[in-house]
A = this chain, B = another copy of it.
Amino acid sequence: MTYFTEETSEQVVTARLDKCESERFKAVMSSAIKHLHGFVKDVQPTMDEWFAAIQFLTKTGQICDDKRQEWILASDTLGVSMLVDAINHRRPDGATENTVLGPFYVENRPHREMGDNICLDGKGAPCLVDGIVTDEQGVPLKGAVVDVWQTNDDGFYSVQQPDEQPDHNMRGVFTTAADGRYWFTTVKPLPYSIPTDGPVGKMLEMMGRHPMRPAHIHFIVSAPGYETLVTHIFVKGDPYLESDAVFGVKESLIVNFEHEGAGWKAKFPVKLKKKA
């Protein structure tokens, strides 16, 4: 078994990990080698297919910059991000469920007064979102931080349009008082397309998939002593709920947005899980 053959490929490559000092890295690479070789043996790629894969891998890195992360998009659209998120945030019954962070979160978001409007460009249908942050037993949490962001009415996050949108458009951070309540004004979110002009867009097209995400608002909710919750709320009735390009939808996160006067309102109560 010294030299490589088609039959012994996995064992020969894995045996080279015998001097790996990190048990964890050894386990990760052993599994990577197992699945890589399993994949190649399953599909038996031609030389041209192998080279097409090399080109996909190369281009997916090369289109990345400080505002575009195509590999996260690849991970998202293949369900890997959701799977890693699920494995890392198994939540007991009762605590609010998490979903993927997505690539458009930014540091240094502005703190706002409760009730403030995060929509600074004046476009879209006004919407009041409110809720209460509690522990798993329903006891309100004071000082909980509710961090929200979404696309504007044109379907873009502010970081995607630094020149077109006002600074921090559609973003805000709110802190609860003793009653645990939060509320803010925004616009009703709309479905939008993930970027399709790169290798991942091409891959989706070849798979016969659309690039749409159902309308949603991102939340990160944190409080001292509790696990930080990264999640979205989705709009009930959205046509893409069952085919989200990044598989982010969970039934418990679908919220009924109701007409109220000229606008909309949505309720999202949040139950945080106590840290172990």
Residues of A within 8 A of B (CB): 2-6, 9-10, 12-13, 16-22, 25-29, 31-47, 49-50, 54, 57-62, 64, 69, 71-72, 74-75, 78-88, 90, 206-209, 242-243, 247-251
Contact = CB atoms under 8 A, between A and B. Distances in A.
Contacts of A79: 4, 9-10, 12-13, 33, 37
Contacts of A19: 207-209
Of the candidates A86, A208, A250, the one having the most CB atoms from chain B within 10 angstroms of its own CB is: A208
Contacts of A84: 40, 45, 47, 50
Contact of A49 (B12, B28, B44): B28
A86 to B, nearest CB: 4
A99 to B, nearest CB: 9
A207 B25 contact: yes
A157 B236 CA distance: 61
A208 B86 contact: no
Contacts of A46: 88
Nearest to A47: B88
B58 A57 contact: no
B36 A78 contact: yes
B20 A206 contact: yes
Nearest to A54: B71
Contacts of A20: 206-208
Given A35-B38, A61-B61, 17 more contacts: A3-B251, A4-B82, A6-B83, A9-B82, A9-B86, A16-B209, A28-B43, A28-B45, A36-B80, A40-B83, A40-B87, A46-B88, A54-B69, A57-B61, A57-B71, A58-B61, A58-B69
A87 B25 contact: no
A21 to B, nearest CB: 6
A220 B122 CA distance: 66
6 contacts: A4-B247, A4-B250, A6-B83, A10-B79, A17-B208, A18-B208
Contacts of A6: 83, 86-87, 90
A5 B86 contact: yes
Contacts of A26: 207
Contact of A247 (B13, B38, B208, B247): B13
